[in-house]
Amino acid sequence: MVKVSVIITAHNYGRYLRECLNSVLRQTFDDYEIVVVDDGSTDETPQILEEYVKKYPEKIKVVRLNGLGLPTACNHGIKASCGEYIIRLDADDFFDENILLIESTILDKNPDIDLVYPDYYEVDADGNIKHYKRLMRVNDEVKLLHRSPLAAGAMFRRRCYDEIGGYNESLKYQEDYDFWLRFTSRFKVYNVNLPLLYYRRHGANMSKNFKGRMEARRVVKEEFVKKHLKEKLENLKVLGLIPARRESRLNGESIALTEVAGKPLIAYTIEEALKSKNLDRVVVSTEDEEIARVARRYGAEVLMRPEELARRGVPVENVVKYTLEKLEREGYEPDIVVLLHVVSPLKKRHHIDEAVNTMLIFDMDSVISVTPDIKFHWKPGMYGLVPLFEKRLLKDDRETLYLENGAIYASKSDVWKSGRAVGNKVGHILMSEDESIHIDSEYDLWLVEQLIKSGRHG
């Protein structure tokens, strides 16, 4: 048995493969093997591998598959390996010469640590360094492990891999996130703040399908809750609350009752809330009898609120507190309240369920819906506008910020009762830009209607 098995997954990355293999072969640590899984490559990958196996037969072995996908390739590679520790590397990335020595030493000297991962450099297609990605130190700088690091460069103990059952081969995306959730729920992880991996950003990367990745992540969370937190979810009381005032935000009529693609706007939020698996009650809070009548027609419960809670400028937290007090007098005390605004009509049932699942998995006080934002932002300064960014980088090079989109606010009832919408420990779910439209103008209303009519909102 060797100490470390390096698992390289390859599919048509022949142009990068030599650099990848050479980065392992020049390691300052020698007790390792390389297992390359060629998952149906049709470029020069097979020829390059044949060349390297002939030159380094004692170090390199090859597993050939017929395009079975990344999680299957990872599992086959690990099955063919014999190392005490496992570390993955994608064929388009490459290692620092010291990564095996540093990470294996950490695992050797710390038997309580089961996975270690490094900082990394982002490089372009030609291998030129673009950015140093420093990750926050576990426990010192971050305690919430809801964001998985790069799978490449993370070294873990084989026994832990065996205990959690390897990679989920049914997933097309987010197999690494699924692995991370299951791993961190049972084992301790650690990161070393040294850039020991070179991660290549280029047009062929697998990680650019936003909606596909988000759908896969939702599935991962849902399956995790079913398997590990089912009883907790079944005993949880979760209220879906839809506030709707008699306000004429746009055209002189109630925004909640404005017809959009043949239905009142409020109907879209009610229908998705009723489809949710994780909400046990859906209540509309309003002072308006016509809104109440329409809400009941679409299947929601209605709790009337006093006119003073419907005035412009009244915080929505006051509405939630009033609703909770009224429901508690009736004997219903929810653990979580999920606030759903009618002016964000393109949220779906799966967004609502993901918010609740995220709260359960990471024991959050609150989860809000956000949209990735990589735009350039400015603020007023002494001599005009001042940039809120350091460098004017290209789109792919900018750090992602998150914009609160106003669609979903899920918080524990105690948070709402304290007069806040968001607690101290805050998680998030990602929604795409088109799903996140918040109606503040006639154009927003028109755009929402076009998306609904075209079927692109579903």
What's the rounded Cα separation, in Å, for the pair 207 and 199? Answer: 12
Q: Report the 10 Å Cβ neighbour count for 419.
A: 11
| Lookup: tokens for 257 | 């009752």
What's the rounded Cα separation, in Å, for the pair 214 and 431? Answer: 8
What's the rounded Cα separation, in Å, for the pair 103 and 97? Answer: 12
pTM assigned to the model: 0.82
- The reported pLDDT for the residue numbered 206 is 47
Report H helices in 185-315: 210-228, 230-234, 265-275, 289-297
Give the dihedral sign, CA 192/198/202/204: negative
Report H helices in 26-98: 45-55, 70-79
- The reported pLDDT for the residue numbered 396 is 56
Q: Which amino acid is at 76?
A: H
- The reported pLDDT for the residue numbered 204 is 55
Mean pLDDT per 10-residue interval, the chain, length 458 residues? 96 96 97 97 96 96 94 96 97 97 98 95 90 75 60 95 94 88 92 94 62 85 92 95 84 85 96 97 96 97 94 93 96 98 96 96 95 87 86 65 94 97 94 93 93 78
Look at the domain 4-208 and name its fold: Spore Coat Polysaccharide Biosynthesis Protein SpsA; Chain A (3.90.550)
Same fold, 4-208 and 225-454: yes
Domain coordinates in residue numbering, the chain: 4-208, 225-454
Give the CATH superfamily of 225-454: Spore Coat Polysaccharide Biosynthesis Protein SpsA; Chain A (3.90.550.10)
- The reported pLDDT for the residue numbered 88 is 97
What's the rounded Cα separation, in Å, for the pair 255 and 248? Answer: 6
